[in-house]
Amino acid sequence: MERYTILIINGPNLNSVSKTELRAFSSSWLDDVEELCREQAADLDISLDFRQSNHEGELLDWIHEGIRTFDGIIINPSSYGVTSQAIHDALSLAPIPVVEVQLGNIMSEFDKKTPVTAGAADILIAGADDYGYLLAMDAVIQMLDKDKKEEQ
């Protein structure tokens, strides 16, 4: 049995992003990210539930489910990150570790948008491309391990 279960939620249009155009649109990038995450999860002895939706309400339902049934949540809210107070509010209810992933450097000259949702996350990882997901997995595990040690 895995030591932790982590929910990874991906927001709108991430099912259409390609590596060559995070930057253009195609359909295999998110599948590649999921495979990368599953390989690391196997090495770390954790289980993942990897999901994507273009619908805000579905993302909210998954966050609420995640709070009840998972050890941690990783979310890439995509464009909802700068617009969704509802996602922020749902994440702020989480008594479990929450890490937000933004593919690009949101502080760059191009973006200059502060995610609304990031304020509800324990950690924001931005600008690390698909490796941000791996960093997020490590961060969630570190927080869970620290909590477990403190409980003993």
* Prediction pTM value: 0.90
CATH code for position 9? 3.40.50.9100
State the total domains in the chain.
1
The one-digit pLDDT tens for each residue of the chain (152 residues) are 679 999 999 999 888 765 555 444 444 678 889 999 999 999 999 999 999 999 999 999 999 999 999 999 999 999 899 899 999 999 999 999 999 999 887 777 555 667 789 999 999 999 898 899 999 999 999 999 998 888 87
Looking at the DSSP bridge assignments, the partners of residue 18 are 21
What residues make up the domain containing 106?
Answer: 4-151
Whole-angstrom distance, CA of residue 23 vs CA of residue 40: 25
Q: At a CB cut-off of 8 Å and minimum separation 6, what does 61 contact?
A: none
Element (H, E) at 100: strand 98-102
CB atoms within 10 A of CB 41: 21
What pLDDT is stored for residue 18 in this prediction? 57
